[in-house]
Amino acid sequence: MVARVGVGAVILLLLSAAGCRASPPVSIPTPRAGGSHASSAILTPAAGVPGNPENGRALVVARGCGGCHTVPGIQGASGVIGPPLNNVALRPTLAGESIPNSPDNMTRWIMDPPSLKPGTAMPRLGLTQQEAQDVTAFLYSQPRNPLP
């Protein structure tokens, strides 16, 4: 019985460590013309949304967002802990109906989720404002750039 509990605890610990997590700054791969490390879909910035969607896509890959979220166009990004990150710009609210959806609110959410929704499972990722704007630009480009 004790061995069974010990094995279960180890498995739970490993699964927890593999999921969403804040991570130290990492170097972000630069997407290449004609294809990127994640997807060959070309992203066009959404009107009125600051940031670079290509840099945002690279950050989503580098920070492991696909461990918790399904992200169309990102290989292996099939997490189910958090909501899927498709058609974000079309949603009326963020974070389970509690925050009106806007690029500014999305950037604030990405930078510090617990400050907007205490108790959320979404961790602080340690992104700069520019990095959060780039991720926002990527997320808001999704409905405008259907994948092949």
Amino acid (1-letter code) at residue 27: S
Prediction pTM value: 0.71
CA-nearest of 102, 82, 80, 79 to 90 is 102
Give domain status of residue 76, yes or no.
yes
Tokens representing 63 are 């920070």
Give domain status of residue 28, yes or no.
no
Tokens representing 72 are 């169309």
Tokens representing 148 are 């092949």
Give domain status of residue 17, yes or no.
no
pLDDT by residue (tens digit) across 59-117? 999 999 999 999 988 999 999 999 999 999 999 999 988 899 999 999 999 999 999 99
CATH code for the domain in which residue 55 is found: 1.10.760.10
pLDDT by residue (tens digit) across 17-74? 344 444 333 333 444 333 344 456 788 889 999 999 999 999 999 999 999 999 988 9
Give domain status of residue 127, yes or no.
yes
